[in-house]
Structure 1
């Protein structure tokens, strides 16, 4: 392993390998996706989706090897034995850094179905990665401001319709739908500006995951509640790839998906209130877990 190299050299070599890996594997992804467009037969689509997922898993595997090559990270992973590869999952997590995504992909690759994120529509223009996300049926969502929704209320329904259409694609092959419930990365400044009662988290946003549960409740089997902790400090992407992260703790907790967690969040006030109370209690428990994990280090 190349731990002995200077941080800057490790970072440059690492990002070079990430780039080459992404370019080389995006090409076959697009080729298989083209066949999906040309032959929209259900049986063929299912087979091609499995090929696409295998390519994506290979991409993640190479990225993980890249990380091991330059980074000497002490991974403290808890609860991984509870997970299964052939389940439909909703995965929810706290969010602190772009490193969260790399850490989750490294830890969960081949352990559960491929993680699929809801992405901002603008991200489709990210070179190569945007095309790869499109090929893998990652849902691209257009975000509307409160002002836009107030002026044009129908846009809210349009966004929900897009979400439902995206979820329809996930019903024939096991999938893990990933949602960072806070909606943005945690910072102390954001935490203080929200004036919330959490110490290590932002206020969770219930609408997105409630809608996924309502749309796919018949298919989703369980919820995976992920808690990511960086004992020293929250790292940047550059610090991660250049080998400056010493330890990462990831705790997985599997929550059974009961009938009480599914419903019409936007038209049933009673369910909306019940779901918000459940999510807030879950986040309080997560906040206390983060504090405990940090103290034990």
Structure 2
């Protein structure tokens, strides 16, 4: 693709993405406000289903936008056993903003509508913040260890946020998404954090441990997703917008929810240690999987 065509595609993609987002956000926000005013639980649940439908329409819009990448190839394994009538906790590596587009587009017909654990700062993003609020997505506020030592009363607030969110999802199948690294992967972050992994940041166990303790009985499976962009590893989102995204590799693993994954992460040190060991082992396997995917692609291209 020429530089001129890539620049034109980038402009068209950005304009269409903003337009689709605004068009879908407005009815979601309006429905969210009306949900606040209605005293009937059945009516609020019906509005929530309407909001999920509009988000599905947004995912369809993103799917159309991906057609601006004419050479895009999907390499997906493990998606066949998913269904839209179950409750899932989805965890995955986080490489780029492209991850959210890929998850929304790929799973829109295979999983219940995705609900993301979001940083508190995203609540202030125009249209997106209010739409996510109307979609009942939980906003998580992160505190440093030093801050919690000075303000112990703040400890456990994310548990309350998680509990309230999961309570709202109890009446309809839902997929709760948590990028357990807590941030997008970069080589600079990997070195600064002293990550033991080659392709990943260290996983943060607290978020999914709290989700499991609050509503583990509700989840049918954990969906472990590995995302890889072997030809566009440096800047996949920019390449996606400019029509240069060439290959998306996705591997899906279903993990049974067992009693060993549920416990008091904050107060039970033995459970905390076991859960961290389980997640670190899972992340080690994911790191090796990413290395294999990258190696397989390079060999195929030779």
Sort the TM-score into its range (normalised by shorter chain). over 0.9
1:3, CA displacement in angstroms?
9.9
Q: Is the 8 A contact 1:85 1:111 kept in 2?
A: yes
CA deviation string 1:68-124 (max 9, x = no partner): 134431111111102111111000001111111111111111210111111122211
1:128-207, aligned counterparts within 5 Å?
A: 128-207=127-206
Q: Distance in 1 between matches of 2:70 and 2:267?
A: 49
Q: Is the 8 A contact 1:88 1:175 kept in 2?
A: yes
CA deviation string 1:19-48 (max 9, x = no partner): 111111222112222331122322222221
SS at match of 1:92: strand
- 1:8 — aligned with what? 7
Q: Distance in 1 between matches of 2:234 and 2:225?
A: 16
Q: Distance in 2 between matches of 1:69 and 1:200?
A: 28
Q: Distance in 1 between matches of 2:161 and 2:7?
A: 42
**Range 121-130 or range 207-216, more displaced:** 121-130
Q: Distance in 2 between matches of 1:132 and 1:196?
A: 34
TM-score normalized by the length of structure 2: 0.93
1:244 aligns with 2:244: yes
- 2:52 — aligned with what? 53
Q: Is the 8 A contact 2:221 2:256 kept in 1?
A: yes
Count of aligned pairs:
296
Q: Is the 8 A contact 1:235 1:245 kept in 2?
A: no
**Range 190-199 or range 146-155, more displaced:** 190-199
1:64, CA displacement in angstroms?
1.1
1:163, CA displacement in angstroms?
2.4
Q: Distance in 2 between matches of 1:32 and 1:86?
A: 24
Q: Is the 8 A contact 1:117 1:179 kept in 2?
A: yes
SS at match of 2:169: coil
1:68 aligns with 2:67: yes
Gaps of 5+ in 2: 298-302
1:226 aligns with 2:225: yes
1:295 aligns with 2:274: no
Q: Is the 8 A contact 2:68 2:243 kept in 1?
A: no
TM-score normalized by the length of structure 1: 0.95
Q: Distance in 2 between matches of 1:140 and 1:71?
A: 36
Distance 1:123 1:252, change over 3 A: same
1:216 aligns with 2:215: yes
Q: Distance in 2 between matches of 1:11 and 1:295?
A: 30
- 2:93 — aligned with what? 94
The root-mean-square deviation of aligned C-alpha atoms, in Å, is: 1.7
Q: Distance in 2 between matches of 1:3 and 1:85?
A: 41
**Range 226-235 or range 93-102, more displaced:** 226-235
